[in-house]
Amino acid sequence: MEGFLNPSDVLKQLELHKDMVAADFGCGSGGWVIPLAKILEDGKVYAIDILEEPLSALRAKTKLEKILNIEVIKSDIEKTSRLLENSCDLVLMTNLLFEVADIKKVLEEGKRVLRAGGKILVVDWTPPTHRPEESKIGPEKKVSLKEVKKIAEEIGLESEKEFEASPYHWGLIFTKR
């Protein structure tokens, strides 16, 4: 997957400090959590997913790699992340929003757990434009950057940056004011 969508490269879009607290909503088996935890070596990363299987795989990876600053949480982020309000500097939502039923609820939960000045990084699949081959890459259902940006701004998040995360992914960074 490195080269297709490289988490380490995308994370460079953010001004990360090693003592930050972050959450990865829909973390899966840790494709983003582990590179983030290595950057935030004096901080903490909450790895949140609804499925136990990828969380078990993540626990095994963190044990094997001796990564101690990741806390694994099983939760449905469309209901709650189980994190405290204003507890994070950063929330990741990578390859997540195309899967959820209510994008607004997920963005609101991200905003709730962020401290003022905190950021949300959203990376998701680019919907096909005019090239049919684009629709063959990734999931059938995709969410547009424009749609996510509109919802985020409606709930009071400030759009800071748009970028191409890969040839098949868009990226957005929002700030909580």
Per-residue pLDDT, 135: 58
- Inside any domain, residue 1: no
Please tell me the total count of domains within the chain. 1
Structural domain of residue 121, as residue ranges? 7-176
Question: Integer distance in angstroms from the first to the last C-alpha of the chain?
Answer: 34
Helices assigned H by DSSP within the chain:
7-11, 33-39, 52-64, 103-113, 145-154
55-113 pLDDT per residue, tens: 999 999 999 999 999 999 999 999 999 999 999 999 999 999 999 999 999 999 999 99
List the beta bridge partners of residue 19. Answer: none
In a domain, 24, yes or no: yes
pLDDT per position as a tens digit, 9-22: 999 999 999 999 99
The tokens describing 103, both together, are: 């994008």
CATH code of the domain containing 134: 3.40.50.150
- The per-residue pLDDT of the chain, averaged, comes to 94
φ/ψ of 169, rounded to 5, equals -135, 140
Residue 169 has pLDDT above 90, yes or no: yes
Q: Which amino acid is at 17?
A: H
Distance CA 71, CA 15 (A): 22
How far apart are the C-alpha atoms of 39 and 46, rounded to whole Å? 14
Q: Which SS3 state, helix, strand or coil, does residue 134 take?
A: helix
Asked, for residue 120, whether it belongs to a domain, the answer is yes
**Structural domain includes residue 11:** yes
**pLDDT > 50? residue 118:** yes
Other Cβ atoms closer than 10 A to 94? 23
Asked if 162 contacts 170 with a C-beta cutoff of 8 angstroms, the reply is: yes
Question: What is the three-class DSSP state of 62?
Answer: helix
- Phi, psi angle pair for 142, to nearest 5°: -130, 155
Three-state DSSP class for 141?
Answer: coil
Q: Report the candidate in 32, 60, 63 with the shortest Cα–Cα distance to residue 48.
A: 32
CA of residue 137 relative to chain centroid, distance: 20
Is 76 within the bounds of a domain?
yes
Residue 2 lies in a domain: no
Task: Tell me the pLDDT tens digit for each residue of 124-141.
Answer: 998 877 555 655 788 888
Please check whether residue 94 lies inside any domain of the structure: yes
